[in-house]
């Protein structure tokens, strides 16, 4: 029984987490929210270090909007009693299991240390830190815009399959609830490549992104703001992890290329980007072959 009392603080914490509603989150991947945070933040895939789509947990905590919004107070007492019963039973089971497993030790696989990005030039001589940072900055803006449009299909080439599936499932909650997550006044303030490593058959680069956004959610039927503020500025810091198959080298554009306009079918000669002379669509030649596998929210500071 004495061992049971060791779990009393744990019970108290769990009750607080269950009974007290969590603040809602938004922006691409739901990293911005009503409450500011520092270091640690939210991780789109903190349990997956191997970038394997088979490791993705389809029942992860991202699934349920109830994890991010408060419930009504009318049933609070009954809910609290039910939660207390569940937590007490869980603590009892933990006590029983700990008696059986207290002799066991577990060795966690440490993450590989990041190496200087300049060492990557030995692997890929044409790799440019400037170009990489610029393309990631552009991707960040594009990710936010397509998230607001509630259609991220065009972003599929820039994410791993698992990452795309998870983000699209999160976005589907807005579609089902007839809500739109607006991300306005987007500005990428700074980017910093933290380093690179190799894991399995992948090259991995981690980059820090500092941005400013205005983030809020509206009801599609009424236009009313249901979460967030259309005036408060949020200063966000993220860590993006991007992967590419080991052995793939940076390709350089060598002048004009010919392609078919995907919007009207016309044959166009372009160099980097141009406007289709037949339908007016903007076309680009995209040689960015890295894919975002994970996004981690590091901090958020709100300026009212």
Give yes or no for a contact between 299 and 39, defined as CB atoms under 8 angstroms apart: yes
Note the pLDDT of residue 300: 96
Of 78-82, 122-126, 229-233, minimum mean pLDDT range = 78-82
Q: Is residue 231 over pLDDT 70?
A: yes
Query: For 138-152, what is the mean pLDDT?
Result: 96
Statement: the pTM of the whole predicted model exceeds 0.85: no
Cα-Cα end-to-end distance for the chain: 51
For residue range 91-103, what is the model confidence (pLDDT) as tens digits?
Answer: 545 454 444 333 3
Residue 277 is classified by DSSP as T
Tell me the per-residue pLDDT of 35-67, one tens digit each, with 9 for 90 and over. Answer: 788 865 556 654 333 333 333 332 333 333 333
27 in Cβ contact with 215 (< 8 Å)? yes
Q: pLDDT value at position 253? A: 55
User: 290 versus 106: which is more confidently predicted?
Assistant: 290
Out of 72-86, 119-133, 254-268, 281-295, least confident range = 72-86
Where are the chain's structural domains?
A: 1-252+287-304
Residues 237, 238, 239: CA angle, nearest 5 degrees: 140
For the chain, percent of residues with pLDDT exceeding 90: 48
233 and 213 in contact (C-beta within 8 Å)?
A: yes
Residue 159: DSSP 8-state: B
3.30.2310.20, 3.40.50.1820, 3.10.450.240, 3.30.70.580: which CATH number matches 1-252+287-304? 3.10.450.240
Higher pLDDT, 278 or 180: 180
């Amino acid at each position: 029984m004495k061992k049971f009392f060791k779990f009393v603080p744990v019970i108290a914490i769990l009750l607080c987490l269950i009974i007290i509603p969590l603040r809602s989150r938004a922006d691409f991947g739901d990293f911005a929210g009503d409450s500011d945070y520092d270091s640690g933040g939210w991780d789109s895939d903190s349990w997956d270090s191997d970038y394997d789509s088979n490791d993705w947990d389809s029942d992860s905590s991202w699934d349920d909007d109830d994890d991010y919004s408060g419930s009504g107070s009318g049933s609070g007492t009954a809910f609290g009693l039910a939660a207390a019963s569940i937590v007490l039973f869980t603590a009892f089971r933990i006590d029983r299991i700990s008696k059986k497993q207290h002799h066991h030790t577990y060795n966690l696989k440490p993450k590989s240390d990041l190496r200087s990005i300049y060492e990557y030039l030995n692997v890929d001589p044409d790799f440019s830190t400037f170009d990489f940072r610029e393309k990631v900055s552009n991707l960040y803006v594009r990710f936010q815009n397509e998230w607001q449009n509630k259609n991220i299909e065009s972003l599929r080439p820039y994410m791993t399959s698992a990452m795309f599936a998870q983000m699209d499932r999160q976005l589907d909650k807005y579609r089902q609830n007839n809500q739109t997550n607006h991300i306005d006044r987007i500005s990428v303030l700074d980017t910093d490549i933290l380093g690179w490593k190799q894991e399995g058959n992948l090259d991995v680069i981690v980059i820090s992104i500092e941005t400013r956004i205005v983030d809020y959610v509206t009801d599609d039927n009424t236009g009313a703001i249901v979460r967030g503020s259309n005036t408060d500025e949020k200063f966000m810091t993220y860590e993006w992890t991007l992967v590419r198959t080991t052995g793939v080298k940076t390709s350089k554009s060598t002048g004009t290329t010919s392609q078919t306009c995907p919007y009207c079918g016309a044959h166009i000669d372009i160099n980097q980007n141009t406007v289709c002379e037949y339908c007016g669509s903007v076309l680009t030649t995209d040689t960015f072959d890295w894919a975002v596998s994970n996004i981690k929210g590091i901090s958020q500071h709100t300026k009212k």
